[in-house]
Every structure is written in C-alpha cells, then in structure tokens.
C-alpha cells in the first residue's frame, strides 16, 4: 500500500513517504489536532491481521510508550483507520548512527557521547522491564542538536516467531533464524544478524533479557570505534557462527590508540556468557562517561555539544538540508546484510533559508549561545559539585621502589612503612610534610606485615614471622619513635584493627592463602594487651575464608567488616564478597551484592569514620590489577577510586578519613628465551602487558603459550620462540591462566573462570578451538599433564584444604591423590613420580618438597628448601633427565633458576642473571632452552586525598 500526500489516517494527514522496509511503509505526517510532525508507520497487512501478535505487540508498545526519556523516541499512538494499522511516533530530524559512523565519521569522543545517551536511554527502559531486542545503528538517530534517540522499542515483539501454542519458540535454531527473509519476517525477535546476542543467535528466546541488549550495544560500540562490524561474516550463517563461537578482531588491530578502558568495556559487553557481561547498562554509561572525560584532556579533542541553530548543524557538517529531505535514500548506510530499519528513513524536511535571514538568525543564535553558556557555567558551579573520585590526589611518599607495607597515623602527619632491601626488612617512620625518615626497627631477615598505628598515635603494631618459620606470625608493639618491641599475641594472620575507643583489637587467625594447611579461619577480638581473646565468627575453608587483609572495626564499634572468599558449594557463583559481622553475636550479612574475582585474595577493607561507606582493595575483573574501591553504606553501591594498571596493597586511613596511604606496585614482565646457563645470550621476545606473569609453557615444535594482559584481560596467547606470530587463544572469560601444553602437542590445559566465575580446569586445542571443561572447581589451579597425555594433575581446595588431584584429559570425576597439604604438582618425565610443595601435619610448618609415586602414595623423598619461606607460584619443574627439580629464587631483587638434586646434594644455580626478577619459567622439550617471564617490580607508598 502506498498512500498519496493528503491521505488521512485518523487525525494524521500524510505529507510524504520517507521510507519503506520490512516493517511497513513510513510517512512524514501532520498531527492535525496537536499540529506537530510525526513519523507514521503503516504495518503490513499480514502482520496486522495476526490478532495474537497485535495483542502482544500492543502490550509491549503500551509499556514502551510509557517511557519518558530524552534518549528514547516517543511512541504516541497505536491505531487503526479503515483497515490499515499504524504506529504514530516522534519524528526525529537527524541521521542514523550508522550513517554517522561510516560516512560522517565524527571523532571518537562525539560518538561516545551519542552512545552514552543510548546507554542512558536503555537504562531507563531496562528499569521498567522493557528489552529492545533489536538494537543496532539503524535504530539509533542522532538529532541535529547532537542528542541520540533510540527508535523501535517494542516493534521486535510484533514479529516474534510463534509455535502453535502461541508461545515464543525457544528451540528456534540459529540456522532457521539466519535464513528467514527480512522482507517476509522483518525484524525477527532474535535480532538482526551482526548485532544479536549469542542467546538470540541460538534461538533461546526464553533466555533473552536486558543483557542481550548489552551485547548488542557492545557490537555497536565496537563498530563506532573501529568502523567495522564486530561479527561480520561472508553470509548470515557465517556471522551467526562468529557470534556464538568466535571473538571479534582485537580493536587495536584497527586503532592502536584506543584507550585501554574503552577496549575493556567492549570486551565485557561482548562476553558470550550473559553472567560475565555487565549486569546493568547504567554501569556501561558511567564508564563510557569516564572515558570521555579522560579523552577531553587530550590535545585537539572537542567533545562539546554543538549549539542549537536553525542555520546548520555540526552533525550535518554543511550538508544541503533540502537535498537530504528530498532524497532520503542518499543517506543509506554502508552496504549491510541487515534490512533497513524505519529509523534510516525518518529524516527531517528542513526548509532552505535566504542568505540575509540566515545571517541574522546565526548572529542571534551566537549571542544567545554565549549568554546561555555564562548562565550554564554559573548554575553548574552553584549546584553541581565535582563528581566523586574525579579530584583524587595521589602523592608518592617513597621513591626507592622497595616499600612493602605502610600505615598512616591518626592525625595524618606520619606514615610508618616497611622497607625491603638486600634480603632484609626494616620499619621506618616518615613525616609527611618534610619526607624525613627515622628507622624504628632495624633490618632483619624477618618479614614485617600489617603495620597499624594505635588510636593515640603512640605505638605501632606489626605482624612478624618467626625467623625459621615465616608462615607462623605474631603481633608485636613498638613505640612510635623506636625502642624495644613487645610480643602481644601469637598466631596472627592479618593486620589488626583497633576499636573506636582503642581498647580492643580485631584480627584474623588461620590462613586464607594457599601457603597454609589450616582448614579454618576465624575473626578474633582481644584486649590491646593481648588478653581476653574471643572468636567472633569462624569459617571452614570449604565454606569460604576470611581474607588475610584483615577486618575493620565500624565507627560505632558494633560490627567488623571483612572480605570473604566464597565459592561452590557454599555459593552458586564463587567470588570475593564484603560482609559485616556483629561483634557480640557473630551474625553475618553481605554489605554489597558486588562480587570480585574468586580466589584472588581480595585484600583489606577500611570503614570510613562517618560510617557512610568503606574502602576496599580488590582485583579488577579479568585481570590481576588490584584497585581501590568505594562501597557506600548501607546502600552497597560500588565505585572505583583508582583505575590504572598498577596494583595496590595495604590500606590505612587517617582518623577523619581525609587521607589514606597504600602501597602501589607496578612493573613490567616480558618473555625471554635463553640457552641454559648462558645469560649472555638471553633475548627478549615479547613486549606486552605482564607477559607470562601467571604462566607459560613450551609446545612441541618450539612455540610458547603464555598469559598476557595485552587484551585487557588475563588471556592465553601463543608466540614463536623468535617473537613472531603472536596469537590470542582465549577471550571473554574473566581470567585464563596457568597454561600447560601437553607433550604430544594435542592440547593446552589451563585454569579459567569462564564457568560460573569459579576457577576450574579447561582444555583446548593448540589454536584455541574446541574448548572443554574438565573440572568444576572451586580453586582448581596449576594444571599439568602426565607425559602420556591421559591425565591432568592440579591443585585444589575442593576438599576443604589444599591437596593434589587428577582428572582424565576427557573430563569426569576428579580423584584426590594426597591427604596432606600439597601444592603446585608436577609429573616427572617418565610419568612415575609427582613432585610438589608439601607440609607436615602441623599448621604453618615450613614448606618442603615431596616426591610421591604417581598416581598416589606416601612420599618417597622429602627435601628441604634452601629458604623455608620459598613456595613460589611458578612451582617446580623437573629437569629433562628427571634427576633433579628446578625452581626460582630471588635474592636482593634478582632471580635465578636453581636445581635441587633428588639424591640429596646441595642446590645448584643454573642461570647467572644479574638483573630482574623471574616470575615464571619452563624448559623447552629438548631441554636446551629456558623460557622466562622476566622483568621488574617496584613498590612505593602513596598518599591519597580527596577520594570521597
């Protein structure tokens, strides 16, 4: 049906046709009652005649019409006039986002502004339970004034495939979906090929929720950044397969200068598993806004909104408006496999002005703009204070790179910090204003941890390990200006927190680390003199552990806040959470619903003095970057205070919470290859982000698989030993780490959090394909295969304590191989033995090395480590001949590889490197070369102000 100009449908009088598509014909019309322009969409007769679809669409569109948001095009009416069914909606004068991305190509900050608008509009819809279902650049208009509006809410519901019962068919296959002709089944509910979510692509209609829109938004964001579709295939089937199984080309391949945070936003939006995407599009809007603010500081970037003008528009960039109105098809998007949305036809008819009138209007607009700007700036200054955390001030208090712990005095004038140098540690006091240092505890080989000022500022508490058994720690007290230290409490495994009146202290006992054989953790309170100990709450390891970051006393003295690591079976999804515990009753409840990555040792928490919130140290999702976070109380809303590639550990607040100190750790780790024992021939083969920091392994043929943060997340990559052909093998999971290539080259086994956010063992082909989950966690780490490739041995805490397990390479029920604390297993070259770190029955006993028959049995050898404190994450490696075990040892900041003979002889140094630390290592298959993750790491004390 084509309606001539002047035709009336109810109160609407058609002026001209401005488009036609699968959803029907679109007209510019006049609302004769309200005297306004509208876009009138006349629905095809076959759709309008389906009463059930029209009824359901009416319900959906009625809800959409109730949305009142500046970034959503309003639906005015759903009507019928002498047969034709129509939708009257807001007429939007502007361009589709597709046209802007591919033809006008404004700069990135402007595109981000439009997309921030889109995210804010979606957030409004999602809060009312409405899902768009067909979000794409064609359904987003940008007005001449620079405001984005989302079109076609509710229209996708109209064409949802039906089965005979009238319910959405959740078995609708992706193949059938892809083959549906757009003109016969326009705008299928499963979305538009190239922008649909994986659950849409697989026809899982019952699983479609607001997170499906978030995936589609990620596709649009990717396209806006790169000018390429995220999942563009040679045909619809190919595109669908990419959506379900493949990752988009890395953004840096198209634009290496895209901010890291923006890449991370895209990756999280495009997670295949809805549970791993952002759970709220509002969070996406906030983060995009943050990126825009950062880009504003770059030279030459203009992110201002163009002033309203009747003469022209920054968006149009001088285009002839009359020509645009007369020839809407001239604004068609770049070629696409998708059908045209009605949005791309809804362009305004802009009248041509005479020159004199144009000049007058332009001058008037310029004057009004100037006046408006002055008023705007004055109002903004009066009513809009700086947003939280944007004025954070960081001051570096030490520059040695050797700080490991710090605390600020109650009055904020002094900082106590631990300095590590030449294998020894000492405790120092620094005056913030003058940066002068005073040593208060002399250097010793013991480790100092958990530095805390007393409430009156006269004493400093610290936790110290025993000389021959660093895992056993006690609490000491020393006068603030130095003097004799006094032992206060034994067996303390965290920093202490003092009650508001300074009369009691709280701490954690047991261990939340893999270096302990304890199977329980407890929150303890005691008097400041060490008397009157009482357990407030206890957690068994299988039900989660209190963090050794320590508790924090609430300002009213009634509660303790602590981070807790939980995981299946105690929780449906594992992770680190923050809880509050009643001091008297031990009753516990979560402070926030936010979870951080599981098993990563979420750190310290500190309560703000006014009780309005807490500060937390916790890792960024998918990385090993520990950042500072703010949690509001009692609301539980979470925001980041810091946002960089450094790590932060230790957290101490001044009495009025006006300042905090923390230890900032940064560094660079790259891959190196060296012939055994010949450091002079060591050569660097990579220059990424923390390459190999959490694992590397040689593959048959000479390739190396390794972990890297180059993608923004912890992913597994491969590289040739000459540094060529780097390839990303994993993506879209929070964390992938500890890769191990099987000797036959068939598989790579690794730890991943891609399933239910808990650490489990996975297998993949050498090219990253054919992913298979072998275990379900929790805490399954450090996998290695047996030489015949039949078994995977790994470390797990699934039994309530750290043990060695094995699982078939094809999956199945895991088997426990050891009964005592054992960690970091490695199988001998002939497959007959397992070597691992080992502890005797007593808790916190020094780590040793045990050699156990494979698959299980009592140790046939127990070897002492040269330094009892050593049990590095890289673990042990057999020498190719099976006669010795190798490990890394770091002395005075320099690491080397050492060999520990099985016959009981003295350790032998294999490498003679003079600089840098080694974070991971592995032998080549022929035993002639070593691959190393090697680099530097520095730690300094940072003072942070204006963080609230």
Identify the residue with better confidence: 366 or 89. 89
Three-state secondary structure call for residue 258: coil
pLDDT at 455: 96
**Cα 468 to chain centroid, rounded:** 40
Residues sharing a CB contact under 8 Å with residue 713, sequence separation 6 or more, in sequence order: 264, 267, 622, 623, 731, 733, 734, 735, 736
pLDDT at 362: 43
**Cα 619 to chain centroid, rounded:** 9
pLDDT band at 296 (very low <50, low <70, confident <90, very high): low
CA 501 vs CA 245, 415, 537: distances in Å: 58, 21, 22
The rounded distance, in Å, linking the Cα atoms of 773 and 761 is 6
CA 234 vs CA 142, 193, 241, 243: distances in Å: 29, 12, 11, 13
DSSP string spanning 686-736? --SSSTTTT-EEE-TTS-EEEEE-TTSSBEEEEE-TTS---EE---SSSBE
Question: What confidence tens digit (pLDDT) does each residue in 383-422 have?
Answer: 333 334 445 788 889 888 889 999 999 999 999 999 988 7
pLDDT band at 473 (very low <50, low <70, confident <90, very high): confident
pLDDT at 375: 38
pLDDT at 329: 29
818-829 b/e (C-beta count within 10 Å ≥ 16 → b): bebbbbbbbbbe
102, pLDDT greater than 80: yes
pLDDT at 25: 79
Q: What are phi and psi of 551, to 5 degrees?
A: -90, 170
CA 188 vs CA 244, 544, 570: distances in Å: 18, 45, 41
What does the block give as tokens for 831?
A: 């497959």
pLDDT band at 63 (very low <50, low <70, confident <90, very high): low
CA 770 vs CA 402, 726, 753, 767: distances in Å: 44, 20, 17, 9
Catalytic member of 31, 93, 134, 213: 134
CA 36 vs CA 4, 39, 309, 325, 353: distances in Å: 19, 10, 20, 17, 21
Question: What confidence tens digit (pLDDT) does each residue in 625-653 have?
Answer: 788 999 999 999 999 898 777 889 899 99
pLDDT band at 116 (very low <50, low <70, confident <90, very high): very high
Q: What are phi and psi of 896, to 5 degrees?
A: -145, 165
The rounded distance, in Å, linking the Cα atoms of 793 and 798 is 14
For range 368-393, the mean pLDDT: 43
Catalytic, 134? Answer yes
For range 278-304, the mean pLDDT: 74
542, pLDDT greater than 70: no
Residues 592, 593, 597: CA angle, nearest 5 degrees: 105
The rounded distance, in Å, linking the Cα atoms of 645 and 622 is 12
CA 600 vs CA 547, 644, 667, 873: distances in Å: 10, 18, 19, 13
Residues sharing a CB contact under 8 Å with residue 326, sequence separation 6 or more, in sequence order: none
pLDDT at 942: 93
Question: What confidence tens digit (pLDDT) does each residue in 809-838 have?
Answer: 999 999 999 988 899 999 999 999 999 999
What does the block give as tokens for 474?
A: 């006690």
Residues sharing a CB contact under 8 Å with residue 523, sequence separation 6 or more, in sequence order: 506, 507, 508, 535, 536, 537, 538, 546, 551, 560, 562, 581
Three-state secondary structure call for residue 478: strand
Question: What confidence tens digit (pLDDT) does each residue in 892-907 have?
Answer: 778 899 999 998 888 9
pLDDT at 546: 81
Question: What confidence tens digit (pLDDT) does each residue in 299-343 have?
Answer: 434 333 333 333 223 232 222 222 222 223 222 333 333 333 433
**Cα 918 to chain centroid, rounded:** 26
Question: What confidence tens digit (pLDDT) does each residue in 571-602 have?
Answer: 434 568 899 999 999 999 999 988 887 554 45
Q: What is the DSSP letter of 906?
A: P
pLDDT band at 182 (very low <50, low <70, confident <90, very high): very low
20, pLDDT greater than 90: no
509, pLDDT greater than 50: yes
Q: In whole numbers, what is the pLDDT of the chain averaged over residues?
A: 79
pLDDT band at 467 (very low <50, low <70, confident <90, very high): low
pLDDT band at 515 (very low <50, low <70, confident <90, very high): very low
For range 79-102, the mean pLDDT: 85
pLDDT at 203: 82
Sheet hosting strand 448-453, strand order edge to edge: 448-453, 459-466, 469-479, 486-490
Of 328-342, 652-666, 698-712, 729-743, least confident by mean pLDDT is 328-342
pLDDT band at 757 (very low <50, low <70, confident <90, very high): low
pLDDT at 565: 75
Three-state secondary structure call for residue 744: coil
Q: What are phi and psi of 333, to 5 degrees?
A: -70, 175
Residues 375, 381, 384: CA angle, nearest 5 degrees: 115
Of 95-99, 458-462, 796-800, 922-926, least confident by mean pLDDT is 796-800
The percent of residues in the chain predicted with pLDDT above 90, rounded, is 42
What does the block give as tokens for 96?
A: 């589709």
- For the question of whether the overall pTM of this predicted structure is more than 0.75, the answer is no
Q: Are 137 and 111 in contact (CB under 8 A)?
A: no
Question: What confidence tens digit (pLDDT) does each residue in 482-500 have?
Answer: 899 999 999 998 999 999 9
The rounded distance, in Å, linking the Cα atoms of 493 and 163 is 61
The rounded distance, in Å, linking the Cα atoms of 615 and 627 is 10
Q: Return the closest-CA partner of residue 232 out of 221, 219, 250, 215.
A: 219
56, pLDDT greater than 90: no
Of 241-255, 519-533, 637-651, 862-876, least confident by mean pLDDT is 862-876
Peptide bond into 855 cis (omega under 30): yes
pLDDT band at 353 (very low <50, low <70, confident <90, very high): very low
78, pLDDT greater than 50: yes
């Amino acid at each position: 049906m084509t309606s001539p100009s002047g035709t009336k449908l109810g109160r609407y009088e058609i002026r001209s046709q401005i488009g036609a598509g699968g959803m029907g014909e679109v007209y510019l019309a006049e609302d004769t009652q309200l005297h306004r322009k509208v876009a009138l969409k006349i629905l095809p007769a076959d759709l309008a005649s389906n009463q059930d679809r029209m009824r359901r669409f009416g319900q959906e569109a009625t809800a959409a019409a109730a949305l009142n948001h500046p970034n959503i095009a309003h639906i005015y009416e759903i009507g019928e006039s002498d047969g034709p069914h129509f939708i009257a909606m807001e007429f939007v004068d502007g361009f589709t986002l597709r046209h802007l991305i591919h033809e006008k190509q404004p700069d990135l900050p402007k595109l981000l502004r439009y997309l921030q608008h889109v995210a804010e509009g979606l957030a409004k819809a999602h809060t009312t339970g409405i899902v768009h279902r067909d979000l794409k650049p064609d359904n987003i208009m940008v007005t001449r004034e620079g405001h984005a509006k989302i079109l076609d809410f509710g229209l996708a519901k109209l064409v949802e495939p039906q089965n005979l019962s009238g319910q959405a068919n959740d078995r609708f296959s992706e193949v059938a979906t892809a083959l549906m002709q757009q003109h016969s089944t326009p705008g299928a509910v499963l979305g538009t090929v190239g922008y649909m979510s994986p659950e849409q692509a697989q026809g899982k209609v019952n699983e479609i929720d607001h997170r499906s829109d978030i995936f589609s938004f990620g596709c649009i964001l990717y396209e806006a950044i790169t000018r390429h579709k995220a999942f563009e295939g040679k045909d619809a089937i190919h595109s669908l397969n990419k959506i379900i199984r493949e990752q988009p080309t890395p953004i840096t391949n198209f634009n290496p200068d895209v901010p890291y945070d923006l890449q991370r936003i895209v990756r999280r939006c495009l997670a295949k598993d809805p549970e791993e995407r952002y759970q709220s599009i509002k969070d996406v809007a906030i983060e995009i806004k943050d990126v825009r603010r950062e880009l504003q500081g770059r030279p030459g970037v203009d992110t201002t909104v163009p002033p309203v003008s009747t003469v022209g528009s920054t968006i149009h960039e001088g285009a002839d408006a009359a020509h645009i109105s007369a020839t809407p098809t001239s604004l068609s998007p770049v070629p696409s496999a998708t059908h045209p949305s009605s949005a791309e036809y809804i362009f305004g008819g802009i009248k041509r002005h005479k020159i004199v009138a144009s000049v007058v209007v332009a001058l008037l607009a310029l004057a009004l703009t100037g006046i408006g700007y002055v008023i705007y700036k004055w109002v903004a200054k009066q009513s809009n204070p700086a947003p939280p955390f944007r004025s954070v001030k960081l001051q570096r208090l030490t520059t040695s790179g050797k700080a490991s712990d710090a605390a600020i005095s109650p009055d904020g004038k002094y900082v106590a910090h631990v300095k590590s140098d030449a294998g020894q540690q000492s405790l120092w006091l620094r005056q913030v204003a003058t940066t002068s240092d005073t040593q208060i505890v002399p250097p010793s080989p013991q480790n100092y941890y958990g530095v805390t000022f007393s409430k009156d500022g006269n004493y400093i508490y610290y936790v110290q390990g025993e000389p021959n058994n660093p895992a056993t720690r006690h609490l000491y007290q020393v006068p603030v200006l130095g003097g004799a230290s006094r032992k206060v409490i034994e067996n303390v495994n965290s920093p202490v927190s003092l009650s508001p009146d300074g009369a009691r202290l709280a701490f954690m006992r047991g261990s939340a680390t893999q270096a302990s054989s304890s199977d329980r953790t407890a929150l303890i309170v005691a008097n400041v003199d060490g008397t009157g100990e009482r357990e407030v709450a206890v957690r068994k390891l299988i039900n989660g552990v209190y963090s050794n970051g320590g508790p924090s006393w609430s300002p009213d003295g009634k509660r303790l806040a602590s981070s807790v690591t939980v995981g299946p079976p105690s929780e449906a999804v594992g992770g680190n959470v923050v809880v509050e515990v009643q001091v008297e009753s031990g009753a516990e409840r979560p402070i926030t619903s936010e979870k951080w990555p599981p098993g990563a040792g979420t750190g310290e928490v500190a309560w703000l003095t006014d009780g309005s919130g807490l500060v937390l140290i916790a890792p960024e999702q998918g990385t090993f970057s520990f950042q500072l976070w703010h949690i509001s109380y009692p609301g539980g809303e979470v925001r980041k205070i810091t946002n960089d590639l450094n790590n932060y550990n230790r957290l101490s607040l001044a009495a009025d919470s006006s300042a905090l100190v923390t230890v900032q750790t940064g560094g660079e780790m790259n891959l190196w290859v060296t012939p055994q024992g010949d450091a002079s021939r060591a050569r660097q083969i990579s220059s990424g982000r923390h390459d190999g920091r959490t694992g590397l392994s040689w593959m048959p043929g000479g390739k190396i698989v390794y972990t890297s943060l180059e993608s923004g997340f912890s992913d597994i990559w491969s590289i040739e030993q000459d540094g060529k052909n780097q390839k990303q093998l994993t993506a879209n999971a929070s964390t992938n780490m500890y890769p191990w290539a099987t000797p036959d080259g068939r598989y790579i086994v690794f730890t991943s959090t891609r399933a239910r956010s808990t650490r489990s063992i996975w297998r993949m082909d050498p090219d990253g394909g054919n992913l298979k989950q072998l275990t379900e966690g929790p805490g399954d780490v450090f996998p290695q295969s047996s030489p015949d490739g039949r078994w995977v041995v790994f470390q797990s805490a699934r039994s309530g304590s750290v043990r060695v397990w094995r699982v078939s390479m094809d999956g199945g029920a895991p088997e426990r191989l050891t009964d005592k604390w054992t960690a970091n297993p490695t199988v001998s070259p002939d497959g007959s033995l397992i070597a691992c770190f080992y502890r005797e029955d007593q808790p916190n006993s020094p780590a040793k090395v045990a050699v156990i028959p494979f698959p299980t049995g009592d140790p046939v050898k127990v070897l002492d480590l040269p330094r009892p404190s050593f049990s590095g994450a890289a673990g042990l490696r057999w020498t190719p001949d099976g006669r010795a075990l190798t490990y890394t040892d770091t002395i005075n900041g320099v690491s080397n590889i050492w060999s520990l003979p099985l016959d009981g002889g003295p350790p032998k140094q294999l490498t003679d490197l003079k600089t840098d630390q080694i974070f991971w290592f592995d032998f080549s298959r022929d035993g002639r070369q070593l691959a190393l993750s090697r680099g530097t790491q520095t730690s300094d004390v940072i003072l942070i102000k204006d963080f609230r």
